[in-house]
Amino acid sequence: MRHLYVHIPFCHRVCPYCSFYKHTPGNTPMAAFVDAVLAEAEMAGRDYDLKLDTVYFGGGTPTALSEVHLERLLTGLRERMDLTGVREFTCEVNPRTITDSKADMMRAQGIDRISLGIQAWDEETLRTLGRDHAPDDAEETFHTLRKAGFRSVSIDLMFSIPGQSLEAWRGTLERSISLNPNHISAYNLNYEEDTEFFERLRKGQYRVEEERDADFFYAALDQLNSAGYEHYEISNYARPGYRSIHNEAYWLGEDYIGLGPGSYSTAKDHRWQNIADTNRYIELLQSGQSAAQPGEALTAEQRRTERFGLELRTARGLPESLVKAPEQRMIRVLGEEGLLLVENGHIRLTRAGKPLVDSVAVALMGA
Amino acid sequence: MPIENTRNFSIIAHIDHGKTTLSDRLLEFTKTITVREQQDQLLDAMDLERERGITIKAHPVCMNYKGRDGKDYKLNLLDTPGHVDFSYEVSRSLAACEGALLLIDASQGVEAQTVANLNLALQQNLHVIPVINKVDLPSADIEKCKRQLEDILQLPADEAVPASAKMGIGIEDILEAIVAFCPPPKDPGDGYLRASVFDSIFDPYRGVVSYVRVISGTIIRGQKVRLMASGNDSEIKDLGTFRPKMVPCEKLEAGDVGYIIANVKTTADVKIGDTLTESRKPAPEPLPGFKEIHPLVFSGIYPVSTDDFEALKLAVGKLQINDAAFTFMAESSAALGFGFRCGFLGLLHMEIVQERLRREFNMDVISTYPSVIYDVRKTDGTELQVDNPTFLPPANEIEEIREPIVKVDIMIPNENIGDVMQMVMDKRGVVNNTETLDDRRVLLHTVLPLNEILVDFNDKLKSITRGYGSMDYEHAGTQPAELVKMDILIASEPVDAFSCIVHRSKAESRGRQLCAKLKEVIPQQLFVVAIQAAIGGKIIARESISALRKDVTAKCYGGDISRKRKLLEKQKEGKKRMKSIGRVNIPQEAFIEVLKNN
Q: What is the 3-state secondary structure (H, E, C) of B72-131?
A: EEEEEEEECCCCHHHHHHHHHHHHCCCEEEEEEECCCECCHHHHHHHHHHHHCCCEEEEE
B136 is annotated as contributing to ligand binding: yes
Residue A9 predicted with pLDDT over 90: yes
| DSSP structural state of residue A10 | B
B166 assigned to a ligand binding site = no
Q: Quick check: B466 contacting A, CB < 8 Å?
A: no
Residue to mutate among A356, A360, A364, with most B CBs inside 10 A, is A356
- B3-181 and B485-597 have identical folds: no
Would the CB atoms of B576 and A366 count as touching at under 8 Å?
yes
Which residues, numbered 479 to 538 in chain B, qualify as contacts with chain A under a Cβ-Cβ cut-off of 8 Å? 526-527
Residue B127 or residue B206, greater confidence? B127
Q: What is the pLDDT of residues B565-582, one digit of tens each?
A: 999 999 888 887 777 788
Question: Between chains, do B556 and A187 touch, taking CB under 8 Å as contact?
Answer: no
Mean pLDDT across chain B, nearest whole number?
Answer: 87
Question: What's the DSSP call for residue B368?
Answer: P
B86 pLDDT above the threshold of 80 = no
Distance CA B520, CA B514 (A): 10
Q: Is the pLDDT of residue A206 over 60?
A: yes
Roughly what angle, to the nearest 10 degrees, separates helices A328-336 and A357-364? 140
B469 is in an annotated binding site: no
- Residue spans of the domains in chain B: they are 3-181, 194-278, 297-368, 375-480, 485-597
CATH assignment of B485-597? 3.30.70.2570
Greater confidence, B203 or B503? B503
Pairing of strands B233-242, B246-248: antiparallel
Q: Which of B255, B123, B243 is nearest to B184 (CA)?
A: B255
- pLDDT level of residue B46 (50, 70, 90 thresholds): low
Identity of the residue in B527, B556, B576 whose CB atom sits nearest the CB atom of A310: B556
Q: In this model, does residue B436 exceed pLDDT 50?
A: yes
Cα of A346 to nearest chain B Cα, Å: 20
Interface check B384 vs A, CB under 8 A: no
CA distance A324 to A365: 8
- Is residue B55 a known part of a binding site? no
* 3-state per-residue secondary structure call for B159-216: HCEECECCCCECHHHHHHHHHHHCCCCCCCCCCCCEEEEEEEEEECCCEEEEEEEEEE
Whether pLDDT at B43 is above 50: no
Q: Write the pLDDT tens digit of every residue in A273-329.
A: 999 999 999 999 999 999 999 999 999 999 999 999 999 999 999 999 999 888 888
Give the closest of B550, B561, B567 to A217, CB-based.
B550
The pLDDT, as a whole number, for residue B41 is 45
Report which of B366, B301, B291 is spatially closest to residue B328, judged by C-alpha positions.
B301
Q: Please, what is the average pLDDT of chain A?
A: 95
Chain A residue with CA closest to B553: the answer is A190
Please determine, for residue A222, whether its predicted confidence score (pLDDT) is greater than 70. Answer: yes
Closest-CA residue of B relative to A253 is: B561
For B374-402, write each residue's pLDDT tens digit.
Answer: 999 999 999 999 988 889 999 899 999 99
- Using DSSP's 3-state secondary structure scheme, residue B276 falls into strand
Summarize the confidence of residues B317-331 as an average pLDDT: 84
Percent of chain A topping pLDDT 70:
100
**What local confidence, expressed as pLDDT, does residue B39 receive?**
55
Task: Count the neighbouring beta carbons within 10 Å of the beta carbon of residue A208.
Answer: 12
Q: Cβ of A187 and B576 within 8 Å?
A: no
The residue-averaged pLDDT of B116-125 equals 81
Of B278-292, B465-479, B493-507, which range is least confident?
A: B465-479
The yes/no answer on whether domain B194-278 falls in CATH 3.40.50.720 is no
pLDDT given at position B83 = 66
Contacts of B565 in chain A (CB under 8 A): 302, 305-306, 309
- Could you tell me which of A20, A17, A25 has the C-alpha nearest to residue A7? A20
Pairwise CA distance, residues B340 & B357, whole Å: 13
Task: With beta carbons less than 8 A apart as the criterion, state whether B328 and B363 touch.
Answer: no
Chain A: residue whose CA lies nearest to B558: A264
Determine the average pLDDT of the residues in B451-479: 84
DSSP assigned state of A343: E
Residue B451 annotated as lining a ligand binding site: no
Q: Which residues of B touch A334 (CB under 8 A)?
A: 526
Q: Do A339 and B526 lie within an 8 Å CB cutoff?
A: yes
Asked if the Cβ–Cβ distance from A356 to B555 is below 8 Å, we say no
Please enumerate in sequence order all residues whose Cβ is within 8 A of that of B5, keeping only pairs 6 or more positions apart, or say none.
B71, B72, B73, B74, B184
Question: Which residues does chain B have within 8 Å of residue A366's beta carbon, measured at their own beta carbons?
Answer: 572, 575-576
The residue in chain A having the minimum alpha-carbon distance to the alpha carbon of residue B585 is: A363
Of A310, A334, A359, which has the smallest distance from its Cβ to B551's Cβ?
A: A359
CB contacts, 8 Å: A359 with chain B: 526, 548, 551, 571
Residues A87-133 pLDDT 10s: 999 999 999 999 999 999 999 999 999 999 999 999 999 999 999 89
B478 in a known ligand binding site: no
Mean pLDDT of B125-143: 93
pLDDT tens profile B210-258: 999 999 999 999 999 999 988 889 999 999 999 888 899 999 999 999 9
Judged against a pLDDT cut of 90, whether residue B122 lies above it is answered with: no
Q: Are A213 and B562 inside 8 Å of each other by CB?
A: no
- CATH number 3.65.10.10 is the correct assignment for the domain at B375-480: no
Residue A141 in this model has a pLDDT that exceeds 60? yes
CATH class for the region spanning B3-181: alpha beta
B528–chain A nearest CA distance, Å: 9
| 8-state DSSP, B392 | P
Summarised one tens digit per residue, pLDDT across range A11-52 is 998 999 998 999 999 999 999 999 999 999 999 999 999 999
Name the band, by pLDDT with cuts 50, 70 and 90, for residue B49: low
Size of interface A-B (CB pairs under 8 A): 113
DSSP A181-224: -SEEEEEEP---TTSHHHHHHHTTSS---HHHHHHHHHHHHHHH
User: What is the percent of chain B where pLDDT is above 70?
Assistant: 94
**pLDDT band at residue B55 using 50, 70 and 90 as cut-offs:** low
CA distance B545 to chain A (A): 14
pLDDT value at A367 more than 70 = no
Cα A309–Cα A185–Cα A127 angle in degrees, nearest 5: 115
The CATH superfamily of B297-368 is Elongation Factor G (Translational Gtpase), domain 3 (3.30.70.870)
Tell whether B17 is in a known binding site: yes
Residue B155 confidence (pLDDT) above 80: yes
* Chain A CB contacts of B492 below 8 Å: none
The answer, yes or no, to whether residue B107 has pLDDT greater than 80, is yes
